[in-house]
Structure 1
Amino acid sequence: MSPCGRSRFLAVLALAAAALIPLSFAAPVAQAAPLLSGGLVDLGCATASHAHFHCLGKAIKSPNGPGPMTVTTPVGLAPADIQSAYGLAGKTSGGRTVAIVDAMDAPTAEADLAVFRSKRGLAPCTTANGCFKKVNQNGATSPLPAGDYGWAEEISLDLDAVSSTCPDCHILLVEASSADTDPLMTAVDTAANTPGVVAISNSYGGAEDGTITAADVHLNHPGIAVTASSGDSGYGVSWPASSPYVTAVGGTTLTKAAGTPRGWTEKTWSGAGSGCSTIEPKPAWQHDTGCANRTVADVSADADPASGLGIYDTYNSCGTSSFCDFLIALGLAQGADGWVQVGGTSLSSPIIASVYALAGTSVNAGSYPYAHTSGLNDVTTGNNGSCGGTYLCTAGPGYDGPTGLGTPNGTSGF
């Protein structure tokens, strides 16, 4: 940094520190339960305005500034919670592979995954033992794309969500060179052509436009479950969730309910995307009558950051220290430095992809759950916006837009 730049940085830091005096800033402390700080912040990849797509995740915001709250020990829901809520405890995949498609590189992905799995009591998943592999959009281990702090948070979320839902699944991380249509769709094709891959999760989205129908061919992989996040800005449709070749995954708020048979309750997460596509045709297996085109979503899972997963990510612009956490909280540094509680349909998509892997069923687009609704928990309350009170934004018995047919009750619905 030049002397002039250093002076400006120190001046900004001094002003920020002065502004924080009334807040009595303290270094992060250990957390054992979900954080409820009263605010959310988009993962950094959501601010890349130059790109067509952004990731669909949000983190609990620090009370000390506009950045995410980073803590030093595991926080939020644990793998055992995800497995309990969705009837997955004790189920195994036999080593089937879930592919994660994201943009840009997370240089610390494997190391961060190792910490997450160790702290959460899961077996190692590494390149050395054949469980984990990271490649570029063409399937090569090098060169990888440039690192990106925001997308690294998304990547940590995806890897940790798969680990939580399906601990014995192998994971293939495919990193596109940018968050644009051609690189991301090339990455999806690479994932689909990799032996052992049975599900592909896409935790990103963008506005529908005239280019998407031509790109749909890259999502059409019969026999492989392709999932896509429905959105994190409430009622409204994004692509690729609106593609008829994917399972569009909406979002819920997941709450422990001691004394009930299931032990959990769910309602619509207000941030989940849903609605009626203006472009994509209605697939033959979808039969709701309020939308002549493709309706989003098909199924759902936990997406509310307030009931979110605790993830581990250390790729940032300031190093590893309590002072770095301070800068991240203030928004003066990018990335994360430890445990962060996150949600968004960026969480629900890899959960559902992992349930498909546990089920081990050859699937055709999003059709399978529609013929196996007994394997789903119907979500009947909540809404994600205003649509005249119709099912497109309001949950109710049976199918609705925000939560689709419901959430996993074991694997029989997938």
Structure 2
Amino acid sequence: MRTSRSPHTSGRWRRAGSTAVATSALVLAGLGTAVHATAATPDHVSAKAVATAVAKAHVQYESACDATPKKGYAACNALRVTGGTTAFMEKQAALKGMTAKTLKPNASSASPTGYGPSDLQSAYGLTSASASNGSGETIAIVDAYDDPNAAADLATYRSYYGLPACTTANGCFKKVSQTGSTTSLPTADSGWAGEISLDLDMVSAIAPNAKILLVEASSSSMANLGKAVNEAVTLGAKFVSNSYGGSESSSDTSYDSSYFNHPGVAITVSAGDEGYGAEYPAASKYVTAVGGTKLSTSSTSRGWTESVWKTSSTEGTGSGCSSYDAKPSWQTDTGCTKRMIADVSAVADPATGVSVYDSYGSDGTGWNTYGGTSASSPIIASVYALAGTPGSSDYPAQYPYEDTTALNDVTSGNNGTCSTSYFCTAKSGYDGPTGLGTPAGLGAFTG
């Protein structure tokens, strides 16, 4: 998720940076290209080789919306690697005794090269966690503007990975405007389309039997995005993912009550992709703020290892102590007297990114590898859906705090410099960049 750094009373809301590695991507939630891997793949590549590969990767921000967003709006920036090789690509090529293929700017892949459904399910203990795979639940995705190819691209992704068809015809997929209309949709936008594809594909990967509701706001203003959240809840979604954000402002508490106070609904929000710093609506006390990690295969019993996602001083997962939002009762860290970001986390590093299919991107279409907390937010919303419908009066953001043993504690890495160490540096137990950790099954997401 990428977000505006100017107050959202004075800046357009950005999609939670989608980072795409050498394929089409948006500045929403980092998208990036990588070779398909499995948990059983041994880790044969040295840290030096991985670091070298990361250094070779060229990350570029593309914006299909305003370069300098207007006040009160989220910016439209997707992060993607447009040249060189990523650490993930370098590693997977080495495991196969091959040389990693250099990525060409604006190039899309003919086949997926990032993590797919089986990888993500393995990494987060979901392979046999829910026999229903989300059946009977509706997961909503809130984004701005229209992706005219959303249904077709979703079908391509699901077909490739052998997932059940999810179409309008079979009642699995529905696309509406912020007013609930299926015919009067917002203006199409190639910048936000990549974000939409990322969100839909991550829901498919984690909860393949769930229904998917895409609610498209008429613009990227907080008012319209907020109305889209309310519409998603009105239409029955108990799980709502938001991959956008902006700098905090004094208006946040009013936005909380107007758009995010929905007991009985698990609302997830990307923590941001610009490194250390609190953002909204991740700072809302009513939502689950989702940070980002670097996810790699390993020789551990889990088969995977994670650290804080940080690509550079200006790119990495968001975190921080809110300046405006009150601390929810279940959050007990003592260094921040107000709301602390994040609560939990999932993969977001574009160098170890997820595969996404998008045919309406601003440049380069086809298979992409994305990253950013725009990937981690829909992943966590979908894990909530696997865990079952929340209690009608519950705020599901509380659930992980009630069972921290069902999370993978992330203890290494940082997303910047801060005066209170855990605000920006991972440690045992709670920390800002990764919260309480990443899913290890469904226990931490069940009321």
Question: What is the TM-score of this pair, normalised by structure 1?
Answer: 0.84
Q: Is the 8 A contact 1:220 1:365 kept in 2?
A: no
Instruction: Please name the residue that 2:353 is paired with.
Output: 308
C-alpha spacing 1:56/1:224, structure 2 compared with 1 (3 Å): farther
Matches within 5 A, 1:284-303: 284-303=329-348
Check if 1:231 corresponds to 2:272: yes
Aligned-partner Cα distance in 2 for 1:88–1:361: 17
Out of 121-130 and 97-106, give the one that drifted further.
Answer: 121-130
Secondary structure of the residue that 1:54 maps to in structure 2? Answer: coil
Structure 2 equivalent of residue 208 of structure 1:
248
In 2, Cα distance between equivalents of 1:268 and 1:167: 27
Equivalent residue, structure 1, for 2:124: 86
2:218 aligned with 1:173, yes or no?
no
Residue from 41, 45, 56 that aligns with 2:60: 41
Residue in structure 1 matched with residue 87 of structure 2 by the alignment:
none
Larger deviation, residues 279-288 vs 66-75 = 66-75
> How many pairs were matched up?
366
> Is 1:337 aligned to 2:377, yes or no?
no
Q: What RMSD in Å do the two structures reach over aligned CA positions? A: 2.0
CA shift digits 1:314-369 (9 cap, x unpaired): 114xxxxxxxxxxxxxxxxx243101110000000000000000001414151111
AA at the equivalent of 1:204: Y
Cα deviation, residue 49, structure 1: 3.1
Q: CA separation of 1:336/1:173 partners in 2, compared to 1, >3 Å: closer, same or farther? A: farther
Deviation sequence 1:122-151 (CA, Å, 0-9, x none): 111100111100000011102100011110
1:55, distance to aligned residue in structure 2 (A): 5.7
* 2:408 aligned residue (356, 377, 384): 377
Instruction: Work out whether residues 276 and 392 of structure 1, in 8 Å CA contact, stay in contact via their aligned partners in 2.
Output: yes
Offset from partner CA, 1:7-28 (integer Å, 9 cap, x none): xxxxxxxxxxxxxxxxxxxxxx
Matching of residues 115-154 of structure 1 within 5 Å: 115-154=156-195
Give me the whole-angstrom Cα distance separating, in 1, the residues matched to 2:104 and 2:242: 27
**Secondary structure of residue in 1 paired with 2:135:** coil
Equivalence for 1:97: 138
Residue 58 of structure 1 corresponds to 79
Of the structure 1 ranges 141-150 and 347-356, higher mean CA displacement relative to structure 2 is found in 141-150
- Which residue in the other structure is 2:307 paired with? 267
Instruction: Evaluate the alpha carbon distance shift between residue 209 and residue 304 of structure 1 in structure 2; reply closer, same or farther with a 3 A threshold.
Output: same
Give the Cα separation in 2 of the matches to 1:244 and 1:54.
Answer: 23
Q: Which structure: greater strand fraction? A: 2
Query: Is the contact between residue 112 and residue 314 of structure 1 (CA under 8 Å) also seen in structure 2?
Result: yes
Q: Return the offset for 1:110.
A: 0.4
**1:39 offset after TM fit, Å?**
2.1
CA deviation digits over 1:155-183, x for unaligned, max 9? 00000011111111110000000000111
Q: Which of the pair has more CA radius of gyration? A: 1
CA distance in 1, matches of 2:420, 2:305: 23
- Cα separation, 1, equivalents of 2:186 and 2:425: 40
Q: Does 1:355 align with 2:366?
A: no
- Cα shift readout 1:176-213 (whole Å, capped 9, x = no counterpart): 00000111010000001112x12000000001112221
CA distance in 1, matches of 2:288, 2:150: 26
Counterparts of 1:254 and 1:65, CA distance in 2: 21
Q: In structure 2, what is the equivalent of residue 70 of structure 1?
A: 108
Report if the CA contact (8 A) 1:301-1:348 is conserved.
yes
Which amino acid is the alignment partner of residue 274 of structure 1? S
Larger deviation: 265-274 or 357-366? 357-366
Gap change, CA 1:207 and 1:74, over 3 Å in 2: same
TM-score, normalization by structure 2: 0.78
1:346 and 2:374 matched:
yes
Deviations 1:61-114 (A, max 9, x none): 234999554111111001100000001113222231110000000000100111
SS of equivalent residue, structure 1 residue 285: coil
| Letter aligned with residue 53 of structure 1 | A
| SS of corresponding position for 1:191 | helix
| Residues 139 and 203 in structure 2, CA contact (< 8 A), matched pair in contact too | yes
The residue identity in structure 1 corresponding to 2:322 is S
User: Could you tell me which residue of structure 2 aligns to residue 8 of structure 1?
Assistant: none
Q: 1:42 to 1:166 in 2, by over 3 A?
A: farther
Residue in structure 2 matching 1:398, options 423, 426, 429: 429
Distance 1:131 1:47, change over 3 A: same
Task: Give yes or no for contact 1:254–1:264 (8 Å, CA) kept in 2.
Answer: yes
> What is the aligned partner in structure 2 of residue 281 from structure 1?
326
Paired letter, 1:87: G
SS in 2 for 1:349: helix
* CA distance, structure 2, for counterparts of residue 72 and residue 347 of structure 1: 21
8 Å CA contact 2:59–2:80 kept in 1: the answer is yes
Which deviates the most, 391-400 or 115-124?
A: 115-124
CA distance in 2, matches of 1:367, 1:55: 30
